[in-house]
Amino acid sequence: MRLVTLRNSGNPAPGVIAGDSILSIPACAEIYPEARCVSGSIREILEGGDSALDIVRRIVNRVSAASRPERDRLENCGALVPAATTELLAPIPDPHLVLSCGMNYRAHLAEMGAPMPDRPTAFLKSINAIIGPGAPIILPKNAPDMVDWEAEFCGVVGKTCHNVSAQEALNYVAGYTMINDVSARNWVKPMAQLSGMEATQAWDQNLLGKQFPTFCPMGPAVATKDEITNPNKVSFELKLNGKVMQSANTDDLAFDLAALIAFYSQFHVFRPGDVISTGSPAGVGMGRKPFVFLKPGDLVEIRADGIGTMKNPVEASA
């Protein structure tokens, strides 16, 4: 299944992509009473574990097998709506945390002239930066001129996870999504010329440049594990105004998702709905000569196998 959050009658609601339509789980309760047992958000569904996902899966299967009159009833009550005209929010607008890995694709390390790390690096992405498909990336007033893109494949946690091994790590994953780790790069270039406390302060500024509002587009969906059976072989790309800027496969990871979960879970307690990014591949604007950065009027498009396509326009700050 590809789980989404849609705006249904003005309110966020959990849903599922069903071909060219979106199924709103709450709206189909009058036709399928079991939908009343489904929680009100994707995060809450994941907190319900396999039994909650199984209820959603049964509803989806009933819709797939529905007769024409039954589909008409679903459409008439607003449970089955056209995907093309339905506003999607981030599939998990309210995770407890988004943890992003840095310097983790071999080709990206090469383009940035960075050595292979001996252990994963990480930083937290502000949950207040999360936006969904179609929402604009706003260039901040105090750092508008060096805003970069970073398409990142992510695991979504399905059950509480702490201090687990790499062998068991994927058992704690419910599915997969994409984020764009949008980054204001104004403080990055001088770091190579600094040392000591100055380098530390510059790195802190670099991480702060990733926290601006709208700097974490997420989506369009959370693809459950039956949709993506091997997270180590997923192709994805990022286009800027129709031109491919990033094209990668997770087989280029220095540390795969299982290794990242095992390492980070030594320190973090992950809960259902938490998002763990595997980092950005090659093709970022900062890695190009000359540099390429986002500007008002641009359109950023991320597509990933099994997950779908997310588009976000770029706008200047008001």
Specify whether the CB–CB gap between 231 and 260 falls below 8 A: no
Amino acid at 45: I
Model confidence over 98-109: pLDDT tens digits? 999 988 988 878
Structure tokens at 27: 């709206």
Closest CA to 137 of 246, 279, 302, 297: 297
pLDDT at 191 over 70: no
What CATH architecture does domain 2-89 belong to?
Answer: Roll (2.30)
The residue behind tokens 């094209």 is 247
Model confidence over 241-259: pLDDT tens digits? 999 999 999 999 999 999 9
pLDDT confidence bin for 111, thresholds 50/70/90: confident
Structure tokens at 272: 């259902």
What pLDDT is recorded for position 196? 73
pLDDT confidence bin for 187, thresholds 50/70/90: confident
Strands (E), 250-295: 275-277
Specify whether the CB–CB gap between 42 and 14 falls below 8 A: yes
Model confidence over 140-172: pLDDT tens digits? 999 999 999 999 999 999 999 999 999 999 999
What pLDDT is recorded for position 203? 72
The whole-angstrom separation of Cα 267 and Cα 131 is 27
Model confidence over 260-316: pLDDT tens digits? 999 999 999 999 999 999 999 999 999 899 999 999 999 999 999 999 999 999 999
Model confidence over 47-98: pLDDT tens digits? 999 999 999 999 999 999 999 999 999 999 999 999 999 999 999 999 999 9
Percent of the chain with pLDDT over 90: 85
Structure tokens at 98: 């988004």
The whole-angstrom separation of Cα 206 and Cα 203 is 5
Amino acid at 118: D
Predicted TM-score (pTM) of the model is 0.94
The stretch 190-196 carries a mean pLDDT of 65
What pLDDT is recorded for position 90? 98
The whole-angstrom separation of Cα 130 and Cα 215 is 7
Q: Which sign does the torsion angle of CA 306, 17, 278, 174 carry? A: negative
Q: What residue segments make up the domains of the chain, in order of their start?
A: 2-89, 98-316
pLDDT at 189 over 70: no
Structure tokens at 267: 């320190």
Task: Name the CATH code of domain 98-316 (choices 3.30.499.10, 3.90.850.10, 3.40.50.150, 2.40.50.140).
Answer: 3.90.850.10
**Domain 2-89 and domain 98-316 have a common topology:** no
The whole-angstrom separation of Cα 133 and Cα 85 is 12
